[in-house]
Amino acid sequence: MSEQETTNESPIDPVAACQEELLAWKDRALRMSADFENYKKRTEKEKVQWAKSNQSIILNDLLAIVDDFDRALEQAHKHPASAEFNSWLAGFEMTSKALNKMLQKFDVQEIKEDQVFNPEIHEAVMQVESPDHISGSIVKVLQKGYTFKGEVLRPAKVSVAT
């Protein structure tokens, strides 16, 4: 008796074994290709998020400069001035406008003044009693707020009526 007959096993078909191994390798290649595509998509998304985060940091720092310009211009307009001062002020205003134009270029928008406090876009820094305002409404904007590409870059700091 041969060895095959004693074990009652059918002979192993080399073609079937190769086809089975080929299918396993194809499946593995497809999975690796899909994993790589997912990796590329994830890294691209992370790159975009990283760039937006870095832009937000820089733009937020720039907002402090814009605030300084706004305060300086507000004070300058309160006082009568000489012709020399007015020419200096005109240059200062041009620089301020250029900064605001640059912010618009990067899709930085000022949060429009709203009458009702919204914790998603406002930060209440104080509460004041005001007979002219209903409770929960904004009495005064203390610092402008801004959005960047539709998300809050810096909330508006406000005083709220009690």
Burial (Cβ within 10 Å: 0-12, 13-18, ≥19) of residue 145 = buried
Contact 82, 106 (CB under 8 A): no
Q: Please answer whether residues 128 and 160 qualify as being in contact, where contact means their C-beta atoms are separated by less than 8 angstroms.
A: yes
How far is 1 from 142, CA to CA, in rounded Å? 100
pTM of structure: 0.73
pLDDT at 58: 95
Structure confidence by residue, pLDDT tens digits, 68-95: 999 999 988 887 778 888 888 899 899 9
Amino acid present at 90: A
Residue 30: strand, helix, or coil: helix
Express each pLDDT in 95-128 by its tens digit.
Answer: 999 999 999 999 999 998 778 899 999 999 999 9
User: Which residue, among 107, 114, 116, has the nearest Cα to 151 in the 3D structure?
Assistant: 107
Instruction: Please tell me the predicted confidence (pLDDT) of residue 8.
Output: 55
Could you give the domains of the chain?
1-106 (no CATH), 109-162 (2.30.22.10)
Amino acid 85: pLDDT: 86
Which pLDDT does position 88 carry in this prediction? 87
Across the beta sheet with 108-110, the strand order is: 108-110, 146-148, 151-154
Asked if 65 and 156 count as a contact pair (C-beta separation under 8 A), the reply is no
pLDDT at residue 10 in the model: 62
Q: Is the CB of residue 155 less than 8 Å from the CB of residue 117?
A: no
What would the pLDDT profile of 25-57 be if each residue is shown by its tens digit? Answer: 999 999 999 999 999 999 999 999 999 999 999
